[in-house]
Amino acid sequence: MIGSRHPPVVLSKTPDGDKMTETMAVAGWTLDAILDQLDVFHQRATYGAVAALVDSSPRSLMTGREREPKSSWIVSRQTKQPTGYAPEQIHPALAERESILATPESLRVWLERPQ
């Protein structure tokens, strides 16, 4: 069908290393990659938006991670602040931008063309 969008096909080796197999590539973002980009551009995103892109629940998204300024770009939709962070753990430029990426789609679009 003309104009339809299909995920790209990626050839990858099997664990034994000698066969190539086709797998569908997913525009998969990792939590670390999202945090890196949010930090570089000083952009906040909600727990829910990020969790949806990394296939996690908002409540468990940051489990096991240290509370540090770089991680503070992921915030609560209600408070616009990271949950449970002490003031010294929050990036000093957190409120630099008014906008917060609150939906998975707005975050996905922004990740592809950050500003």
Segments forming the whole domain that contains residue 33: 29-112
Read off the pLDDT of residues 9-66 as tens digits, 9 standing for 90 and up.
333 333 444 444 333 333 589 999 999 999 999 999 999 999 999 999 999 999 999 9
Structural domain contains residue 74:
yes
Q: Is residue 22 one of the residues assigned to a domain? A: no
The total number of structural domains in the chain stands at 1
Alpha helices in 1-115 (DSSP H): 31-41, 47-53, 104-112
Token pair for residue 85? 């962070």
pLDDT per position as a tens digit, 73-103 = 999 999 999 999 999 999 999 999 999 999 9
Q: pTM value?
A: 0.76
Is residue 82 domain-resident? yes
